[in-house]
Structure 1
Amino acid sequence: MTKEKYPAKSHARSVSAHLFRLSSNFFGTTSPLFLLASPRTKYWPFCDQTQPFRQNRNFYYLTGCNLPDCYLTYDVADEKLILYLPEVDNDDVVWSGLPMSLDEAKAAFDVDDVRYAPQLIDELSTIASRIVFTVEDLSVEHELVVSAVNSKNISLKTADPLFLEALEEARLIKDEYELRLMRKASLISDNSHHKVMSTLLFSSNETHIHAEFVYHSLRAGSKNQSYDPICCSGRSCSTLHYVKNDENLKGRQLVLLDAGAEWNNYASDVTRTFPISGVWTTEARQIYDLVLLMQRECCKRVAPGVNWEELHLLAHKILINGFLEIGIFRKEFTSEQILESRISAAFLPHGLGHTLGMDTHDTGGRANYSDPDPLFRYLRIRRSLEAGMVVTVEPGCYFSPFVTDEWKTKECWKIVDESVLDLYWDVGGVRIEDDVLVTVDGYENFTKITKDPEEISKIIIGNEIN
């Protein structure tokens, strides 16, 4: 049976359709050509060791090819997609083996033809009066290509905003092939998160958690993580993008693990928070239950047409009501007054989530990081949801003096009862994150690893429910 190919040609047609929608009168009588390059093989300075390779996501979207030193062209007029491979280097073959042949590449990829890269130079030299769109500046590493473009009357548009937006909008809506890859990535992440929980009592350092997650992901065939795992504990759980991953767990309440395996360049992004001993302290359980309520209420409202900013506001409203009940916010203030003051941003400084795809923070979110409103400044999605989008739903609650110290200088800090707040510093922070597909009639949650606090405790302690 013929193996299904990554749908590169349909992706190219989608980009083309978005480009013409954005600029219907831009091209006149000519049709554009897309020209993209995969990253060149690079060596570390003063060393013969190559740097880790990560494919250009836009290049992969239009080819399904994960090789370096390649090019693609897509002629919008005849919908012809051509992949150009590097020529065979006999010296390199001695050390690294035979590369993929032209015939093998044509059988593997959804393209019209496969040629060697020098042929691209000749072909570009014959194109006149064409607009050529590319993404990156090719002039530094691809001088021969740029020279060929400049030798004729060819308009090379590098990082053109219209072309970039067309790529982003096309990549935003996932087809079924892409969704299968993302479900697979999520399945691997589920298992790796479970393994971390089930071995937690044997871990004494954040590094052990990091190693456990990566080990089980690698065993499942995921050679790369979607991002560097965030493995924090205790008060460090209040650091949103923690990178140390090397502190001892002794004497701390919680672990926050934000980690996602990658599958064929497609990401998963999952966060779970759990007690190091398997037993929740009163304060940790209060905050966990609050974040879980935020997460569940936001998840179940995901559907086409729903405005993401409204879901983000819902998360803040639930946090505010929870803090009023706990006593961190003084009860003489109404929830409406507290929301208007924006003090909740001192405890939930980030956005509710982001788009997910080949990049962890994927395309099409339309963020506005210059927004003066602290409640929305770091919100990565500023649009209504559409069927085919994959988003993360990841509310959190954090107790970070690096955030609250700034808010203490504001008038609205009077809303906070510091005598109650002092009970929660050791909780550090809680975040719960799932990967969610917007479907035509609602949503599908890719993330299956439990977030029930009682089940989590049983997994850690060893009395797991089958």
Structure 2
Amino acid sequence: MHASFFQHIEALEQRTLGVLESQGFSGLLIGSGVLHKRFRDDNYYPFRANPQFLQWVPFLSAQPDCWLLVRAGSKPKLFYYLPTDFWHLTPALPSEWWCEAFEIIAYSDAAELRSALADTANLAVTAERQPGFAQESWTLNHDRLNTELDFHRAVKSEWELHCLREANRLAVKGHIAAEGCFRAGGSEYEIHQTYLQAIAHNERDMPYDNIVALNEHAAVLHYQFQQRQAPETSQTLLLDAGANYQGYAADITRTFTAGEGVFADLVHALDMKQKQLLKAVGAGTDFVVLHRQMHTLIAEVLQAFDLVRLDPEAQLERGITSVFFPHGLGHLLGLQVHDVGGWQQDAAGTLREPPQEHPFLRLTRILEPGHVVTIEPGLYFIPSLLEPLRSNGAGSAVNWTLVDELIPYGGIRIEDNVAITAEGIENYTRDAFAAEQRPDL
């Protein structure tokens, strides 16, 4: 895949130079990011590199204080920070195959950078703050420039698609190992550690904090804890966990059950409805329409299981499905788990906000080849959402006896990572499970 990386850099350079020219800048200086000290402490928060920097140099996700200069007429210049430091390991100047795409210049302090960039007036700077070596003519985080670059970032190059595919293959290995730990009676903490070991990641490698939710915790959409003690009976595991490959993220969710019964049948039913919706995903599809179609499919499940005694159309009219499926169907995926530009409709930054009745939808674009998105329907039993429904008129159609029986199971989410192609889709997640001889997942 080396050739595809150089093609990726060439295309990225052409696009960036075009945007710079249209906005009247002589070049773009992108910072990898800086370390931040914890409040009233001398230790630092874990470092997260600037995604715009990673799009060019995904191999330097752990190196703060690096800078990339993009200008017409010269190879992109990578200023690589090599401080004199006996407290920490200073990474060696890179010399791997990808370095051929850049002119790499080592520096150890700001004075060296100021001198190296002395002839670069009228730069656009993309960084969290203006660097101390900046010239007065430099512009920090120009809105229109960043907006245009964000919009185009949604269409992935062959290199980026390769990285996203590989991230899914890694994450699937973790999901399979975690399922085994769940079935052996592991705690949330033990399941999480099993996952990390299976994919050879540590905490700071992960693209986001794993959601490892047993039983009723599966009804907390972004459940943020990992209990060390396993419950007396583990009925459900909702595992929302990804992986990182060359800066690109996988974001996969599966729901496992310990035995047979109504909840296990619900998991299977939602899985079937997700597969049904996937047949409608493709280039030219309006993601808002997909989201609404998923609500209809969930209403069919609720009716079929006698959870709600109304037809799908009536359920949607009364807002009942939003109680059981309160989040969006999915989002763009790439360098960031919730990749930028989900509401943007054009390079100028025109926004299409989600429908009023579905405020948490993160993606409102028309899908096109090169987009990578998540498709993640859910069906949850969330007490704080169920109680208002129980007390209003629409609640009379709900089978509360069955709902109350299912509350201890928490909820269900099935999430695949899907690339849009000219012919349809490539489902990275299900392909990876099939390669591991788990086509049922």
TM-score by length of 2: 0.86
Cα distance in structure 2, aligned partners of 1:46 and 1:268: 34
Aligned to 1:235: 216
**Distance change in 2, residues 1:107/1:339 (3 Å):** closer
Aligned to 2:115: 122
* Backbone CA RMSD of aligned residues: 3.0
Does residue 274 (structure 1) correspond to residue 253 (structure 2)? The answer is no
2:154–2:340 CA contact under 8 A, matched in 1:
yes
> What's the CA shift string for 1:286-327, capped at 9, x where partnerless?
321231122101222221101111111111001111212222
Cα distance in structure 2, aligned partners of 1:405 and 1:15: 51
Aligned to 2:402: 420
| Counterpart pick for 2:76 among 72, 81, 91 | 81
Aligned to 1:15: 16
Aligned to 2:328: 351
The code of the aligned residue for 1:53 comes to F
- Give the 5 Å matches for 1:37-76: 37-44=31-38, 49-66=43-60, 67-75=63-71
Aligned to 2:420: 438
TM-score by length of 1: 0.82
Aligned to 1:249: 231
> What's the CA shift string for 1:177-207, capped at 9, x where partnerless?
1122111111111111111223333233111
**Distance change in 2, residues 1:109/1:64 (3 Å):** farther
- Give the 5 Å matches for 1:442-457: 442-448=424-430
Cα distance in structure 1, aligned partners of 2:394 and 2:298: 16
Q: Which moved more, 1:302-311 or 1:292-301?
A: 292-301
1:369–1:378 CA contact under 8 A, matched in 2:
no
What is the CA-CA distance between 1:96 and the residue it aligns to?
4.5
The code of the aligned residue for 1:83 comes to L
The code of the aligned residue for 1:348 comes to F
- Secondary structure of the residue aligned to 2:205 is coil
1:222–1:262 CA contact under 8 A, matched in 2:
no
**How many matched pairs?**
425
Does residue 134 (structure 1) correspond to residue 117 (structure 2)? The answer is no
| Counterpart pick for 1:144 among 133, 149, 167 | 133
Q: Structure 2: state its 5+ residue gaps.
A: 345-350
> What's the CA shift string for 1:49-98, capped at 9, x where partnerless?
554322211111133451221112112x4364211122442xx2x55556
Aligned to 1:464: none
Does residue 386 (structure 1) correspond to residue 363 (structure 2)? The answer is no
Rg comparison, structure with higher value: 1
2:353–2:364 CA contact under 8 A, matched in 1:
no
Aligned to 1:170: 152
Cα distance in structure 2, aligned partners of 1:370 and 1:118: 45
Does residue 307 (structure 1) correspond to residue 296 (structure 2)? The answer is no
Aligned to 1:158: 140
| Counterpart pick for 1:364 among 318, 341, 348 | 341
Aligned to 1:194: 176
Does residue 108 (structure 1) correspond to residue 99 (structure 2)? The answer is yes
> What's the CA shift string for 1:143-197, capped at 9, x where partnerless?
222xxx11xxx1x332322122222123211111112211111111111111122
Cα distance in structure 1, aligned partners of 2:356 and 2:174: 37
- Secondary structure of the residue aligned to 1:447 is helix
1:338–1:415 CA contact under 8 A, matched in 2:
no
| Counterpart pick for 1:293 among 272, 276, 282 | 272
Aligned to 1:463: none
2:113–2:133 CA contact under 8 A, matched in 1:
no
What is the CA-CA distance between 1:249 and the residue it aligns to?
3.3
Q: Structure 1: state its 5+ residue gaps.
A: 460-466
**Distance change in 2, residues 1:99/1:211 (3 Å):** closer
**Distance change in 2, residues 1:46/1:423 (3 Å):** closer
The code of the aligned residue for 1:32 comes to S
- Secondary structure of the residue aligned to 1:289 is helix
2:37–2:45 CA contact under 8 A, matched in 1:
yes
What is the CA-CA distance between 1:372 and the residue it aligns to?
6.4
- Secondary structure of the residue aligned to 1:304 is coil
2:171–2:243 CA contact under 8 A, matched in 1:
yes
> What's the CA shift string for 1:109-143, capped at 9, x where partnerless?
52245353644312544344x2x22233424xx22
| Counterpart pick for 1:373 among 325, 349, 356 | 356
Does residue 36 (structure 1) correspond to residue 30 (structure 2)? The answer is yes
Cα distance in structure 1, aligned partners of 2:272 and 2:369: 24
> What's the CA shift string for 1:381-419, capped at 9, x where partnerless?
101101011111110100001122234454433332323
1:105–1:114 CA contact under 8 A, matched in 2:
no
2:26–2:120 CA contact under 8 A, matched in 1:
no
The code of the aligned residue for 1:12 comes to E
What is the CA-CA distance between 1:18 and the residue it aligns to?
5.3
Percent identity between the two aligned chains:
27
